[in-house]
Structure 1
Amino acid sequence: MCAMNAPLSPDFVNGEVSFWYRSIGVPEPGDPLGGDREADVAIVGAGYTGLWTAYYLKKADPSLRVVVLEKEFAGFGASGRNGGWLTAALAGSPGRYARTHGRDAARRFQHAMFESVDEVIRVAGEEGVDADIVKGGLLTVARGPAQAARLREELASQREWGWGEDDVRPLSRDELDGRLRVTGALGATWTPHCARVQPAKLARGLAAAVRRLGVEVHERTPVVRIAPGRAITPYGTVRASHVLRCTEGFTATLPGHHRDWLPMNSSMIVTEPLPEDVWTALGWHGRELLGDMAHYYMYAQRTADDRIAFGGRGRPYLYGSRVDDRGHTHAWTVGALWELLTSFFPAVADARVAHAWSGVLGVPRDWCSAVHLDPGTGLGWAGGYTGHGVTAANLAGRTLRDLVLRRDTETSRLPWTGRRVRAWEPEPLRWLGVHSMYRLYRLADARESRGMRRTSALARIADMITGH
């Protein structure tokens, strides 16, 4: 695909963490660790996973000494850059969890994710976190016959796994138009189990909440090594009975974890605020989240200040699992996202792009997230959310809480607990596999856009390459 040049606003910004932080101000990082510390729990990473884990541990036992160590500032990574989808979607598929734990366990996992959407909303309200949350649900649209066929298959699968009419329902083209007018859409599904959120506001509010509970959060403190009972930094060592790795897309930068999870890039653009006549043409009054059934899929939201934030994979992977942590986005990606955005919504064509940014998410080899705690060493971790971390991190935080406190609960017994998968292949196989997969997905989408009635064989080949 040859992307067009996107029209840029005069104050266009590329990178600099994200638009979400630009809108509220990039925080000044707090004090680094000032020497050795003794703690009960040391948490590496102050993204959603680390912050939720600290929050629930201190709420369960206020006497616990909890220390969080963060290289940049709380919410610097994917937690402050994502698409703002508080979604109940599982990483991977329920069938993969069912293979190891049975169908009932997989269903319990899904319902735990449903409940976690509301749990995040509850805590945000209780802690006074204003994160622009609107629980308008999720619209998944099908543009073209092949996508429509996959949407029907997906709905049938959801019904098989116990999703009733209250959990997901199909929408005709007319019903979709009553909510949001998407050019080329043949139909859609809608689920209530999704809410819009301003991710940086959520991260900042959660960080403030854990500090109020007495958690030590040390920013500008990179952890150079994790070992049983120790988190080692240039400024001192935190000694703790439990050391929890909550680094998600940055996990590959830690010694000994280079091939655990693939750091997958995802990119976003956001428009200038759109005038009322554009919203009259589009609808979108319910502030639903929006996704599609393409292989090279997109995700979007209508922001609180009436912009469209629109994301997709762009250039998905850097050789050697490198991480571009400042969020700069290639011009090709900006153009590709603009081209796709205006194909969905031609009425937006006269607007301009105000900001572009990228972030990394963690992808395990089997595309399924996991939580683990070794009771012998006290080492634990959670992540591999494959893009569903806004909600999954909350559930992971409660799972780690129960494991650390040795509680035998439904949460601690969810089928992601203790899940282990093989490492990703060494380079150059890793780079070749990921780029081949996404190249095939782009070609498959292009073929299907010409009216194919079933999924392109190229997409099935891509699935086989990486086990997606």
Structure 2
Amino acid sequence: MTRRAAHAQVPSDAARRASFWLDSLAASGADTLRPRTALTANAWFDVCLIGGGLTALWTAYTLKRADPDLRIAVLEREIAGFGASGRNGGWCSALFPRSAASLERTHGRDAAIAMRRAMVDTVDEVGRVTAAEGIDCDFVRGGTVVFARSGAQRRAAQADVDEAASFGVDRLEYWDEHTVAARFGVSGVDDRTPAAVHDPACARVHPAKLVRGLARVVEALGVAIFERTEVLDWSAGRVRFRALDGSDAIGTVSARHVLVATEGYSSQLPRARRRILPIYSLMIATEPLSPDVWREIGLAHGETFSDYRHLLVYGQRTADDRIAFGGRGARYHWGSTLDTRFEHDDRVFAHLQAALAELFPAAAGARITHRWGGPLGIARDWHPTVSYNARTGVGFAGGYVGDGLSTTNLAGRTLADLVLGASSELTALPWVQHRSPLWEPEPLRWAGANLGLLGTGLADHEERLTGRPSLIARAIGPLTGH
């Protein structure tokens, strides 16, 4: 391999603005967020990974642990963790975009059960590896509390518990109003007291600490990480790139295995333009809350939370006692366009603040210190995949629909087995070699994506008006993996 030093670096301020998580690393002095050296000349590797997020890094980690002699390169346009891996809600969960019942309809009962077991086991696997490798990412397995705040939501919650019990893997618990009142310090029980479902298979993490720490680990194992290196295109055995270090050098990586791990950014690459739809999810973070406020809220360290509305929200209590809270609501942009302007939407941020105050009135007056967002990736059938063509050596993993923090670990381990030619329980999972349909061309893609977003909001409004499960939600369910 020929490698020329790259001296120009982008300011770390751009990375700090990407999320609270990345900003907190820089503010603490734990990470400067300065880019690693760009690749500026032709090179040869055994494995070339496109993208510097968790999928690529978990794949590189697993491959290097299995075969230390493999020459592995990771090419990243910005810095490792700049995308969804450093911006997400910090849920290391067993969630998967397709429900167990949906997987059963598509792949059969045994395959659905195997997928659920693999996802639950992955939560523990992330905790095991981060502990073994000394990655301090605030990993605390406290489970997820999903509040049910209406009669329709309570019925949906009970249905989830019943479905989980029928497959015998997930250990969901239904907490009635009295349990929630006692658990969260509610004085008295009335019609406004929510019920909840508790899922133990989730850990709270600091996602930027995880992805940046994992990057350092794989680099120490001998993996070459090239940042500020933009991939222009790829084909079997070749990846064309351009250095963004000021040299504008264009070159080619030759590799036996080319693995694409760009998630929501896949839409910007010619060969994946209609394979993955990018949808923005936005987040806010409060100032650290006082012990008195936390006693009133009732969330312990390690617990994540959501509720049963259709327009998804999600949050966690951070290690420094903030609430990091996010949700959907940002519209899809024509032509799968990505732009930093789309990461800030005052309407969505106002919705998030109102939703947080509704869930936890004690936090209503908290100052919001950070607002950010980023694109996640959705396949046309909401079905993630790990795919690999042994003949061409080209692989792909993605379509996590926001459930990627833990799913990336499972994807990385599975991709590694496929590259190494190993037949394992992982390579037999139903998402392996799954091929989703392509998204429609414009304007159908724009209309369908935004109508789906509008439908989830209308479904919530319908349930508030009628008190019954939404007919709109039932109609769009098959389009969202349910």
Which bracket does the TM-score occupy, shorter chain normalised?
Answer: over 0.9
| Bigger mean CA offset, 150-159 vs 77-86 | 150-159
- One-letter amino acid matched to 1:244: L
CA contact under 8 A between 1:17 and 1:326: conserved in structure 2? no
Question: What is the rounded CA distance, in whole Å, between the counterparts of 2:431 and 2:478 in structure 1?
Answer: 23
Pair 222,151 (structure 1): closer, same or farther in 2 beyond 3 Å: same
Question: What is the rounded CA distance, in whole Å, between the counterparts of 2:128 and 2:308 in structure 1?
Answer: 31
Question: What is the rounded CA distance, in whole Å, between the counterparts of 2:48 and 2:268 in structure 1?
Answer: 19
Deviations 1:118-166 (A, max 9, x none): 11111111111110111001111101111111111111111112136xx
CA contact under 8 A between 1:80 and 1:203: conserved in structure 2? yes
Match of 2:116 among 110, 119, 135: 110
Pair 394,466 (structure 1): closer, same or farther in 2 beyond 3 Å: closer
For the pair 1:462 / 2:476, whether they are aligned, the reply is yes
Report the alpha carbon displacement of residue 202 of structure 1 after superposing the two structures with TM. Answer: 0.2
| Bigger mean CA offset, 382-391 vs 172-181 | 172-181
Question: What is the rounded CA distance, in whole Å, between the counterparts of 2:422 and 2:102 in structure 1?
Answer: 25
For the pair 1:173 / 2:177, whether they are aligned, the reply is yes
Question: What is the rounded CA distance, in whole Å, between the counterparts of 1:339 and 1:292 in structure 2?
Answer: 14
- One-letter amino acid matched to 2:428: R
Unaligned runs of 5+ in 2: 1-13, 27-31, 243-249
What pairs with 1:210-229 in structure 2 (closer than 5 Å)? 210-229=218-237
Report the alpha carbon displacement of residue 325 of structure 1 after superposing the two structures with TM. Answer: 4.5
Report the alpha carbon displacement of residue 319 of structure 1 after superposing the two structures with TM. Answer: 1.6
| TM-score normalised by L of structure 2 | 0.90
Deviations 1:394-428 (A, max 9, x none): 00000000000000011111111100011111111
CA contact under 8 A between 1:179 and 1:286: conserved in structure 2? no
CA contact under 8 A between 2:116 and 2:169: conserved in structure 1? no
> What SS does structure 1 have at the residue aligned with 2:397?
strand
Match of 1:87 among 93, 96, 100: 93
Q: Which residue of 1 aligns with 2:240?
A: 232
Deviations 1:161-208 (A, max 9, x none): 2136xx211112232234336894431111210000000000110000
CA contact under 8 A between 1:15 and 1:357: conserved in structure 2? no
| TM-score normalised by L of structure 1 | 0.93
Pair 326,178 (structure 1): closer, same or farther in 2 beyond 3 Å: farther
CA contact under 8 A between 1:15 and 1:328: conserved in structure 2? no
Match of 2:425 among 385, 410, 420: 410
Match of 1:387 among 387, 402, 414: 402
CA contact under 8 A between 1:56 and 1:401: conserved in structure 2? yes
Question: What is the rounded CA distance, in whole Å, between the counterparts of 2:283 and 2:323 in structure 1?
Answer: 10
Question: What is the rounded CA distance, in whole Å, between the counterparts of 1:448 and 1:299 in structure 2?
Answer: 20
Question: What is the rounded CA distance, in whole Å, between the counterparts of 1:24 and 1:83 in structure 2?
Answer: 16
Match of 2:290 among 260, 265, 275: 275
CA contact under 8 A between 1:79 and 1:390: conserved in structure 2? yes
For the pair 1:74 / 2:75, whether they are aligned, the reply is no
Question: What is the rounded CA distance, in whole Å, between the counterparts of 1:360 and 1:304 in structure 2?
Answer: 25
> What SS does structure 2 have at the residue aligned with 1:449?
helix
Report the alpha carbon displacement of residue 349 of structure 1 after superposing the two structures with TM. Answer: 1.9
| Bigger mean CA offset, 209-218 vs 311-320 | 311-320
Question: What is the rounded CA distance, in whole Å, between the counterparts of 2:203 and 2:417 in structure 1?
Answer: 26
Question: What is the rounded CA distance, in whole Å, between the counterparts of 1:378 and 1:14 in structure 2?
Answer: 33
Match of 2:438 among 420, 423, 427: 423
CA contact under 8 A between 1:433 and 1:465: conserved in structure 2? no
For the pair 1:39 / 2:54, whether they are aligned, the reply is no
Match of 1:148 among 126, 149, 154: 154
Q: Which residue of 1 aligns with 2:261?
A: 246
Pair 90,68 (structure 1): closer, same or farther in 2 beyond 3 Å: same
- One-letter amino acid matched to 2:17: E
Pair 98,134 (structure 1): closer, same or farther in 2 beyond 3 Å: same
> What SS does structure 2 have at the residue aligned with 1:50?
helix
Deviations 1:283-317 (A, max 9, x none): 11243110111110210100111111111002142
Question: What is the rounded CA distance, in whole Å, between the counterparts of 1:70 and 1:184 in structure 2?
Answer: 48
Q: Which residue of 2 aligns with 1:9?
A: none
The structure with higher relative contact order (CA 8 Å, sep 6+) is: 1
Unaligned runs of 5+ in 1: 1-12
| Bigger mean CA offset, 34-43 vs 184-193 | 184-193
| Bigger mean CA offset, 307-316 vs 295-304 | 307-316
What pairs with 1:93-132 in structure 2 (closer than 5 Å)? 93-132=99-138
How many residues are paired up?
A: 453
Question: What is the rounded CA distance, in whole Å, between the counterparts of 2:273 and 2:464 in structure 1?
Answer: 37
Question: What is the rounded CA distance, in whole Å, between the counterparts of 1:123 and 1:316 in structure 2?
Answer: 37
CA contact under 8 A between 2:335 and 2:442: conserved in structure 1? yes
Report the alpha carbon displacement of residue 466 of structure 1 after superposing the two structures with TM. Answer: 6.2
Match of 2:217 among 209, 216, 225: 209
Question: What is the rounded CA distance, in whole Å, between the counterparts of 1:430 and 1:68 in structure 2?
Answer: 31
Match of 1:296 among 294, 311, 328: 311
Q: Which residue of 2 aligns with 1:55?
A: 61
Q: Which residue of 1 aligns with 2:463?
A: 448
CA contact under 8 A between 1:436 and 1:462: conserved in structure 2? no
Report the alpha carbon displacement of residue 108 of structure 1 after superposing the two structures with TM. Answer: 1.0
For the pair 1:23 / 2:29, whether they are aligned, the reply is no
| Bigger mean CA offset, 194-203 vs 15-24 | 15-24
- One-letter amino acid matched to 2:128: R
| Bigger mean CA offset, 240-249 vs 342-351 | 342-351
CA contact under 8 A between 1:149 and 1:454: conserved in structure 2? no
Question: What is the rounded CA distance, in whole Å, between the counterparts of 2:70 and 2:393 in structure 1?
Answer: 15
What percentage of residue pairs aligned between the two structures are identical? 45
CA contact under 8 A between 1:266 and 1:316: conserved in structure 2? no
Q: Which residue of 1 aligns with 2:8?
A: none
Q: Which residue of 2 aligns with 1:4?
A: none
Question: What is the rounded CA distance, in whole Å, between the counterparts of 1:327 and 1:199 in structure 2?
Answer: 21
Pair 132,184 (structure 1): closer, same or farther in 2 beyond 3 Å: farther
Root-mean-square deviation (Å): 1.9
Question: What is the rounded CA distance, in whole Å, between the counterparts of 2:60 and 2:458 in structure 1?
Answer: 44
- One-letter amino acid matched to 1:255: P
- One-letter amino acid matched to 2:476: A
Question: What is the rounded CA distance, in whole Å, between the counterparts of 2:72 and 2:193 in structure 1?
Answer: 49
> What SS does structure 1 have at the residue aligned with 2:253?
strand
Pair 178,60 (structure 1): closer, same or farther in 2 beyond 3 Å: farther
